[in-house]
């Protein structure tokens, strides 16, 4: 639900009352009538807006403070806090001093830019979201109403000033993969700021093959969150950044085209099978990461890797056997499998459907890695997933 400016004013004026009542509301299908009755009694004609605000705040739990004003679309589009903080450090390390966030929405990037020592200006076309940003960031925040394609600052050449943009990445409920279909379109953004350095947040599945600067694919707690495109003055090449809430950080850098690199080392599985983090796969840096950790590929076209030990901070599966798919059920029964985690690459197999067909009745947790190796589909039967902690 998008808010009108007058609704934002009401929500801001009653923020403390809303914050106090929020823990009492389940906001589930089962509680919809009781929740609405409670909100009607407390907020009258504004009950619907209050309900939408609380739902959006919960949706943005790992992105900004739970008392911030936001709508559902802004909460969904906003970047998780740890990812935003990484971007701010990237810009600061590149020499940036000033950031103009031309799609600032409710202001979620601002605290991280400030923490990195950067001055921040936010602009947006939506009056309602600017009102929310003002409430969230305080009276001292620099905010302006402007179209992202109509420059409202004097950011020019050099990395001391950077344009940050977060174009809308969905249309009709589906992710956009063509940069020209973003809103605003990537080519239009580049054209609107000639000579300026840019950092453009995109969906991780975007086609960035023609981008000349740095492409940074970032994951958080195993989920790939974004691909940020930086102009050449900020960086070049490809990088995968693996972040976790426990403080783990790994950055893998390279050219991002495994196919153009040296031939992969391909061997039969060793002690372990490991699947790289999704950011490493999306950035095209599987071979680079494998070389770093002494791993090899089971097939040059498949991202599953193997080695004699799991890299610190990652998880893997200890290999017990390898069989053709048609022998998988019998082999699992021999190993007393009762529950299986199934990973698939390069083979048309639905893990959930396969799990139902197996009808296992054993007592042991197992892992099954299904991959195309050469011309054949192979099933690697493993022990349950194990995690190797950091030193």
Residue 199, sorted as left (phi over 0), alpha (psi -120 to 50) or beta, turns out to be beta
> Average model confidence (pLDDT) for the chain?
93
Q: Are residues 275 and 238 in the same domain?
A: no
Residue 178, sorted as left (phi over 0), alpha (psi -120 to 50) or beta, turns out to be beta
Q: Are residues 19 and 106 in the same domain?
A: no
Predicted model pTM: 0.92
Q: Are residues 150 and 35 in the same domain?
A: no
Q: Are residues 100 and 192 in the same domain?
A: yes
Q: Are residues 90 and 165 in the same domain?
A: yes
Task: Say how far apart CA 165 and CA 189 lie, in whole Å.
Answer: 8
Q: Which of 75, 100, 129 is the last residue of a domain?
A: 75
Q: Are residues 104 and 233 in the same domain?
A: yes
Tell me, what's the pLDDT at 258? 58
**Dmax (CA) of the chain:** 70
Task: Say how far apart CA 88 and CA 113 lie, in whole Å.
Answer: 5
Residue 83, sorted as left (phi over 0), alpha (psi -120 to 50) or beta, turns out to be alpha
- Residue 29's domain spans which residues? 5-75
The answer on pLDDT for 221 being more than 90 is yes
Name which residue leads in pLDDT, 86 or 179: 86
Number of domains comprising the chain: 3
**CA 147, 153, 157, 162 torsion-angle sign:** negative
Tell me, what's the pLDDT at 127? 96
Tell me, what's the pLDDT at 36? 93
Q: Are residues 237 and 273 in the same domain?
A: no
Q: Which long-range contacts (CB under 8 A, 24 or more apart) does 147-155 make?
A: 148/102, 148/103, 148/123, 148/184, 148/189, 148/192, 149/184, 149/188, 149/189, 149/192, 150/192, 151/192, 151/193, 152/100, 152/102, 152/123, 153/100, 153/121, 153/123, 155/98, 155/100, 155/193, 155/196
Q: Are residues 284 and 356 in the same domain?
A: yes
The answer on pLDDT for 260 being more than 50 is no
Q: Are residues 26 and 86 in the same domain?
A: no
Q: Are residues 282 and 250 in the same domain?
A: no
Q: Which of 75, 103, 120 is the last residue of a domain?
A: 75
293 touches 323 (CB < 8 A): no
Q: Are residues 159 and 276 in the same domain?
A: no
pLDDT in tens, 105-143: 999 999 999 999 999 999 999 999 999 999 999 999 999
Q: Which of 75, 103, 123 is the last residue of a domain?
A: 75
Mean pLDDT for 193-206 is 92
In angstroms, how far is CA 216 from the centroid of its own chain?
A: 11
pLDDT in tens, 301-325: 899 999 999 999 999 999 999 999 9
Q: Are residues 60 and 114 in the same domain?
A: no
Task: Say how far apart CA 222 and CA 311 lie, in whole Å.
Answer: 15
The answer on pLDDT for 242 being more than 70 is yes
Q: Which long-range contacts (CB under 8 A, 24 or more apart) does 363-366 make?
A: 363/336, 363/338, 364/335, 364/336, 364/337, 364/338, 364/339, 365/337, 365/338, 365/339, 365/340, 365/341, 366/320, 366/332, 366/335, 366/337, 366/339, 366/340, 366/341
Mean pLDDT for 193-220 is 93
250 touches 223 (CB < 8 A): no
Task: Assign residue 298 the CATH number of its domain.
Answer: 3.30.2130
Surface-to-core class of residue 89, CB atoms within 10 Å of its CB (0-12 exposed, 13-18 middle, 19+ buried): middle
pLDDT in tens, 85-95: 999 999 999 99
The answer on pLDDT for 168 being more than 70 is yes
């Amino acid at each position: 639900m998008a808010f009108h400016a007058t609704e934002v004013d009401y929500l801001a004026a009653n923020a403390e009352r809303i914050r106090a009542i929020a823990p009492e509301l389940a906001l589930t299908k089962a509680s919809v009538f009781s929740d609405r009755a409670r909100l009607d009694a407390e907020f009258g004609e504004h009950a619907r807006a209050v309900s939408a605000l609380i739902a959006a705040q919960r949706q943005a739990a790992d992105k900004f403070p739970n008392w911030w004003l936001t709508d559902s679309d802004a909460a969904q589009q906003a970047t998780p806090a740890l990812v935003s903080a990484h971007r701010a450090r990237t810009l600061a390390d590149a020499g940036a001093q000033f950031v103009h966030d031309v799609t600032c929405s409710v202001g979620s990037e601002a605290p991280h830019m400030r923490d990195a020592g950067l001055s921040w200006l936010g602009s947006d076309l939506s009056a309602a979201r600017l009102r929310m940003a003002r409430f969230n960031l305080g009276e001292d925040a620099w905010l302006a109403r402007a179209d992202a394609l109509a420059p409202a600052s004097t950011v020019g050449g050099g990395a001391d000033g950077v344009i940050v943009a977060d174009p809308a990445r969905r249309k009709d409920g589906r992710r956009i993969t063509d940069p020209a279909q973003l809103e605003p379109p990537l080519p239009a953004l580049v054209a609107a700021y000639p000579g300026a350095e840019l950092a453009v947040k995109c969906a991780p599945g975007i086609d960035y093959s023609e981008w000349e600067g740095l492409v940074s694919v970032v994951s958080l707690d195993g989920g790939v969150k974004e691909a940020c495109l930086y102009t050449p003055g900020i960086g070049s090449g490809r990088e995968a950044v693996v972040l976790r809430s426990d403080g783990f950080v790994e950055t893998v850098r390279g050219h991002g085209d495994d196919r153009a690199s040296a031939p992969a080392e391909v061997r039969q599985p060793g002690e372990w099978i490991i699947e790289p983090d999704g950011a490493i796969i999306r950035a095209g840096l599987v071979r680079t990461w494998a070389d770093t950790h002494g791993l090899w590929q089971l097939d040059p076209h498949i991202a599953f890797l193997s080695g004699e030990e799991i890299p610190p901070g990652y998880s893997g599966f200890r290999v017990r056997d390898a069989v053709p798919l048609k022998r998988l059920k019998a082999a699992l029964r021999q190993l007393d499998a009762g529950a299986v985690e199934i990973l698939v690459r390069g083979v048309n197999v639905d893990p959930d459907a396969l799990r139902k067909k197996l009808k296992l009745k054993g007592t042991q947790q197992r892992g099954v890695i299904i991959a195309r190796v050469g011309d054949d589909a192979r099933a690697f039967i493993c022990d349950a997933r194990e995690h190797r902690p950091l030193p």
